[in-house]
């Protein structure tokens, strides 16, 4: 077997694809190298839920035959990737990160896995996650069947939830890209904490067939990758109509950088207070530099306010009601008590008592939010804000279970109070993660610097189906910075 240079574990999709098609090494050699690395280092970060080495080698053998015969299927052909363990993979355990489902096996693949398979991508493993993607709210990072997600930049810190394994595996060079999910921050937070690029697509753009449901009206699947360019390539493959997902938007996505509007023609709404005051002191210099790099692209930054709504309370009510319905058999059977986090157990149980009127009120307020965001995006093209206000927290640090936890789902236990229709105006873009998920908006996370030795991320949010615009901003930003090329020294 040809030796795979260390740098290739951190290469982009395009770089690896070029070397594969030039036959500098085979897909089997690449798969063997990545599966060995995933099996060796995945447990170091509690990132690996299930190795799929034999399956990866078989798929790579098919890819080599296709390449030899000139059957090229696109840039993802032969590229090793991982999938969050809420995605079904036929004949293998899909645990949803939770002990009650440790032996769960499906006889079909999730749609996204089938779509990636069809273009020759090579799945090398299932990646760890917070149990039930955080449903019910959790207080500790250890709320997972595989243990707390550990950050490749500093293993005393959290990799973020609930897509902890997906972000850590990309950051540590264990996979070239990974599929994660978001209901309320579970792509944005781990990407920010681990210093990788990630994309939360518009609600309904990517099929969730074969994915664990946490909230029918909030769940989304999206890629973690090395660059905005890579995210666009992956999204093109996994997006599209699927009649097996009732929430499917029935739309495809084509990554078309050649047709994107020039970034200098775009207006970006932002709130200076997010970068100057709300950001943690150790992160402010890096965020200021990131704003400077955005200005260099020609992007026009204009001060903007979010519409005034009770984002956190509204999302909590919707998520609590829908997750309680989804997990009612688990709760009623008593198996919920097998979960690792006491706060999560209590939250799921409490969610069963949420009054229907609170859910309905939240859904009505949500519609008003969507209308106001449509008006906002008539004035600006994108919104820019920190992905998180500071770097990753320590693994043992308790998370606030009374509000949406960092990167996880909202705490259902605190969701029984009906949302108010007249909240106090939010400070800056406070609530943007909940707002973006409630309105179904896409968001791109871009590594943008460090606070100490830990990464920081920017979040660029757009109107529904504006992914090509977000990716254009991301490409221009990453052409002027190298934060997305940095890698952990201990990976």
Q: Report, as residue numbers or ranges, the catalytic residues.
A: 84, 162, 186
User: What is the distance between the terminal CA atoms of the chain, rounded to a whole angstrom?
Assistant: 23
DSSP secondary structure code for residue 277 in this structure: I
For residues 210 and 241, give the distance between their C-alpha atoms in angstroms, rounded to a whole number: 14
CA-CA distance, 232 to 259, in Å (whole number)? 13
DSSP 3-state of 370: helix
Calculate the alpha carbon distances from 274 to 172, 310, 414, 430, 452 in Å: 29, 18, 26, 8, 19
Tell me, what DSSP letter sits at residue 488? -
Closest CA to 112 of 38, 191, 178, 67: 178
Q: Let me know the angle formed at the C-alpha of 484 by 252 and 148, rounded to the nearest 5 degrees.
A: 85
Apex 370 CA angle, 427 and 441, nearest 5: 80
261 close to 234: Cβ distance less than 8 angstroms: no
Looking at residue 401, what DSSP letter applies?
A: T
* Burial track 343-382 (b if 16+ CB lie within 10 A, e otherwise): bbbbbbbbbeebeeebbebbeebbeebbebbeebbeebbb
Q: What are phi and psi of 272, to 5 degrees?
A: -55, -30
CA quadruple 307, 408, 79, 39: dihedral, nearest 10:
170
Provide DSSP, 52-119.
Answer: -HHHHHHHHHHHHHHHHTT----TTTT-EEEEETTB--TTSB--TTSGGGTT-B-SS--HHHHHHHHT
Query: Phi and psi of 70, rounded to 5°?
Result: 80, 15
Compute φ and ψ for 352, nearest 5 degrees: -65, -20
Q: What is the 3-state secondary structure (H, E, C) of 164-199?
A: HHHHHHHHCCCCCEEEEEECCCCCHHHHHHHCCEEE
């Amino acid at each position: 077997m040809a030796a795979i240079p260390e740098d290739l574990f951190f290469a982009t999709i395009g770089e690896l694809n070029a070397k594969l098609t030039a036959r500098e090494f085979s897909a089997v050699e690449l798969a063997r190298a990545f599966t060995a690395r995933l099996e060796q280092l995945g447990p170091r970060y509690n990132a690996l839920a299930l190795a799929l080495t034999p399956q990866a080698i078989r798929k790579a053998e098919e890819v080599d035959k296709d390449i030899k015969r000139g059957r090229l299927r696109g840039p993802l052909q032969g590229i090793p990737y991982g999938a969050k363990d809420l995605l079904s993979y036929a004949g293998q355990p899909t645990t949803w990160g939770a002990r009650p489902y440790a032996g769960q096996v499906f006889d079909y693949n999730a749609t996204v896995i089938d779509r990636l398979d069809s273009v020759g991508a090579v799945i090398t493993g299932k990646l760890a996650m917070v149990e039930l993607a955080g449903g019910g709210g959790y207080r500790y990072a250890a709320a997972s069947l595989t243990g707390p997600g550990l950050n490749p930049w500093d293993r005393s810190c959290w990799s973020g939830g609930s897509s902890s394994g997906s972000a850590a595996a990309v950051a540590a060079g264990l996979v070239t890209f990974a599929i994660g999910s978001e209901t309320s921050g579970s792509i944005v937070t781990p990407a920010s904490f681990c210093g990788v690029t990630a994309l939360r697509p518009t609600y309904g753009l990517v099929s969730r067939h074969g994915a664990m449901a946490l909230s029918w009206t909030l769940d989304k699947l999206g890629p973690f990758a090395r660059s905005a360019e890579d995210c666009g390539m992956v999204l093109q493959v996994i997006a599209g109509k699927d009649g097996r997902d009732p929430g499917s938007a029935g739309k495809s996505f084509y990554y078309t950088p050649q047709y994107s509007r020039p970034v200098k023609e775009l207006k970006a709404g932002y709130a200076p207070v997010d970068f100057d005051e709300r950001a943690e002191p150790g992160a402010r210099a890096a965020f200021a530099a990131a704003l400077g790099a955005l200005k260099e692209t020609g992007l026009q930054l204009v001060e903007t306010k979010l519409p005034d709504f009770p984002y956190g309370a509204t999302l909590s009510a919707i998520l609590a009601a829908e997750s309680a319905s989804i997990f009612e058999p688990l709760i009623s059977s008593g198996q919920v008590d097998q979960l690792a986090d006491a706060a999560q157990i209590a939250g799921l149980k409490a969610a069963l008592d949420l009054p229907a009127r609170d859910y309905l009120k939240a859904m009505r307020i949500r519609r008003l939010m969507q209308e106001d965001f449509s008006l906002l995006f008539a004035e600006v093209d994108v919104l820019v804000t920190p992905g998180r206000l500071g770097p990753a927290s320590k693994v043992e640090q308790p998370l606030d279970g009374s509000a949406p936890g960092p990167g996880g789902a909202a705490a259902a236990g605190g969701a029984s109070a009906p949302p108010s229709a007249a909240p106090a105006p939010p400070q800056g873009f406070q609530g943007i993660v909940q707002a973006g998920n409630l309105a179904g908006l896409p968001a791109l996370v871009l590594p943008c610097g460090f606070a100490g030795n830990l990464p920081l991320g920017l979040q660029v949010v757009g109107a529904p189906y504006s992914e090509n615009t977000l990716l254009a901003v991301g490409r221009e930003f990453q052409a002027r910075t190298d934060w997305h090329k940095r890698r952990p020294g201990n990976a």
